[in-house]
Amino acid sequence: MSQLIPLIAFAVFLVVGYISGSITERRHFASLREREADTRDMVVITFPTPPSDWTLHDPTLVCGSVVISLDYFKRFLAGLKTLVGGRITPYEPLLDRARREALMRMKQTARARGYATVINVRLETSCLSRASSEKSVAGVEVLAFGTAVNRGS
Amino acid sequence: MIVSNTETLPGHTITEFYGVVTGSTVRAKHIGRDFMAGLKNMVGGELKGYTELLQEAREEALSRMKAQAESMGANAVVNVRFSTSSISQGAAELFAYGTAVRVI
């Protein structure tokens, strides 16, 4: 019986991870869609030189960042999938969420300071490992940054 | 002090270049945050403790960069980039660099 305990704990972790992970993911995507619709009027571009008929002033750097982690179930699934190779599907929505959230926060920072345009936007992704064990990934960090500018004469 | 990641500052003209300015900070997460992150690692979702930690660290790096630019007599830093590197297990360096300039 006592040998079964780790196995049961593992099964519980998987189930808890699966349930809470899918709920968090669904909620996050819903909130992202809502906030993205809300900031659709903002102009966010990735090139440094906007159309020449724009007059820009008051440039300032704005950043947005987020650290997101996978749940236990998806991490286990990803571990299995790396054995066979190919698409590691559990990681794809994670990175998508992290990037969109970082961009969202950058836009919100810009908006809070009264800007509606952000130029030269860059995205950077890095992996955080846990201090306790080298192998396990604690999460991904995405940083979005750009130059907020005011348009108009 | 104007900071921007574009090469030129919209609405300003660069009159003088002072060269590269850098700012960095090395941070490690403390055990409480690591414990909470361990829990979050099971259920998934945002690791708020880490997000805040990295944000603070990045602001620190930026402010050191700005201080260096100021000491050179610059009034703006253009073409700012960020980079992150892990120094050892559990510690990371956050680094910001750019070109100090004088603008009018």
Structure token digits, residue B5 = 């990641």
pLDDT in tens, A68-116: 988 888 888 888 888 888 888 888 999 999 999 999 999 999 999 999 9
A80 to chain B, any CB pair closer than 8 A? The answer is no
Residues in chain A: 153
| C-beta separation of B51 from A98 below 8 A | no
Strand order across the A117-129 sheet: A43-44, A117-129, A137-151, A56-71, B44-46
Does residue B101 carry a pLDDT above 80? yes
Residues 17-56 of A with CB under 8 A from B: 17, 20-21, 24-25, 28, 48, 55-56
Q: What is the pLDDT of residue B45?
A: 86
pLDDT category of residue A129 using cuts at 50, 70 and 90? low
Does residue B87 carry a pLDDT above 90? no
Task: Test B44 with A67 for CB contact under 8 angstroms.
Answer: no
| Alpha helices (H) along chain A | 4-38, 72-84, 91-112
Task: Test A24 with B82 for CB contact under 8 angstroms.
Answer: no
pLDDT in tens, B62-86: 999 999 999 999 999 999 999 888 7
CA distance A106 to A110: 6
Residue (of A82, A85, A123, A116) closest to A101 by Cα position: A123
A128 to chain B, any CB pair closer than 8 A? The answer is yes
Q: What is the pLDDT of residue A79?
A: 85
Does residue A55 carry a pLDDT above 90? no
Residues in chain B: 104
A90 to chain B, any CB pair closer than 8 A? The answer is no
Does residue A61 carry a pLDDT above 90? yes
Residue B75's identity, in one-letter code, is: N
Q: What is the pLDDT of residue B77?
A: 95
pLDDT category of residue A153 using cuts at 50, 70 and 90? low
CA distance B27 to B59: 12
ipTM higher than threshold 0.90: no
Q: What percent of chain A has pLDDT above 70? A: 93
B2-3 and A117-129 beta bridge pairing: unpaired
pLDDT in tens, A8-33: 988 988 898 899 889 999 999 999 99
Q: What is the pLDDT of residue B74?
A: 94
Average pLDDT, integer, range B8-30: 89
CA distance A26 to A15: 17
Q: What percent of chain A has pLDDT above 90? A: 50
- Please compute, for residue B60, the number of CA atoms within 13 A of its CA located in the half-sphere on the CB side: 12
Q: What is the pLDDT of residue A132?
A: 54
pTM of the model: 0.88
Residue-averaged pLDDT of chain B = 88
